[in-house]
Amino acid sequence: MNYRHSYHAGNFADCLKHLVLVQLIKLMQKKDKGFMVLDAFSGTGIYDLHAEFAGRSPEYIDGIVKIWDYADKNSNTKPAIIDYIEALKLVNESQRYYAGSPFLISKLLRPQDRAFFIELHKIDVQTLADNISDFKYECECKSLNVEHNDGYQSVKAKLPPVEKRGLIFIDPPFEKPDEFRNMINSLKEGLKRFETGVFAYWYADKNATETKDFLKKVKNLGKKYLNVSMQIQNKNEIKGLVSSGLVIINPPYGLNEALKDTMGQLTTILGKNHGAKYTLEAFENI
Ligand SMILES: C[S@@+](CC[C@H](N)C(=O)[O-])C[C@H]1O[C@@H](n2cnc3c(N)ncnc32)[C@H](O)[C@@H]1O
């Protein structure tokens, strides 16, 4: 495993992914009943944007920094973008640290909610456990559990949750050619165990044919879902990732509306040229 998320923390893909994550949690919290979050590809939880590690590839300059700048200067910033910025602020007031999914989740969860954070990288899981334990020291009121395990295995092991309410957040590194296949298999396994769960799967849109094939397979699952993706410039202009998205199975009520309201502005902020665009598709499928 070579992937280290620190190189990418706060980039355009993280911005869309974490904006959606924040909305998912907020919308699920419209009901008082607690729920379980399974963050199956957790990373280390928090990233120092000034560290040399991140400094070698400062992708956050074209990501979260653009959003912070825009929101500073524009009073028309969309509510979902403000929610995302506010959630990051819960982790640190300054703009030095960037919160990954475990810290956003930990900060936003209520005492009646709980979370499992799964990470396979031996060093990263220890860093994550230390980071979460520092956080728990501030507040013992939440059930936050870090485990060294395979994320896809955890989908089998942790579902269904006793609460019968749950968010499964899958954010793999996309380094292996079979990631889409693993994701579809995992979605099938997950839905078999927990058909009403909210499943949010992030994908790297590197190859149009493979992405299309994946989306077709998601559609064939016959569930209600949303597909949201954003491209920041034409694909052939540079080497590297310029487009990514998320599919959300059983999206909570209000997510489609929130993204409809936000995606145009988000794409304008993060887009680099005329090649920037977004997709938002909602399928009822029932
Ligand atoms: C894209 S990063 C996750 C970022 C994190 N979700 C966030 O939003 O801050 C992917 C993470 O998955 C970890 N990973 C890779 N393969 C894994 C597996 N099979 N199971 C669990 N974690 C894995 C990598 O070490 C890496 O930290």
Quick one: pLDDT at residue 1? 54
DSSP class of residue 60?
G
Angle at 26 between CA 282 and CA 92, to 5 degrees: 125
User: In this structure, how many other beta carbons lie within 10 angstroms of the beta carbon of residue 199?
Assistant: 27
Ligand 1 center from residue 72 Cα (angstroms): 31
Q: Report the catalytic residues.
A: 171
Exposed / middle / buried, residue 22 (Cβ in 10 Å: 0-12, 13-18, 19+): buried
Q: DSSP assignment, residue 111?
A: T
Using a 6 Å cutoff on CB, does residue 126 contact ligand 1?
Answer: no
Contact 21, 169 (CB under 8 A): yes
For residues 173 and 164, what is the distance between their CA atoms, to the nearest angstrom?
28
Does the C-beta of 147 come closer than 6 Å to ligand 1? no
Q: Between the CA atoms of 261, 191, 42 and 259, what dihedral angle is there, to the nearest 10 degrees?
A: 0
Q: What is the pLDDT of residue 239?
A: 81
Kindly compute the dihedral angle of the four CA atoms of residues 131, 135, 136, 140, in this order, to the nearest 10 degrees.
Answer: -170
Ligand 1 centre from 75 Cα, in Å? 35
* Nearest CA owner, ligand 1 atom 26: 43
Q: Is the CB of 119 under 6 A from ligand 1?
A: yes
213 to 218, 230, 242: CA distances (angstroms): 9, 18, 19
Q: Does domain 13-283 fall into CATH 3.90.1150.10? A: no
Question: Closest residue (by CA) to atom 12 of ligand 1?
Answer: 41
* Low-confidence residues of the chain: pLDDT under 50: none
User: Where exactly are the structural domains of the chain?
Assistant: 13-283
Query: What is the token pair recorded at 155?
Result: 């989908």
Q: How far apart are CA 48 and CA 11, in angstroms?
A: 13
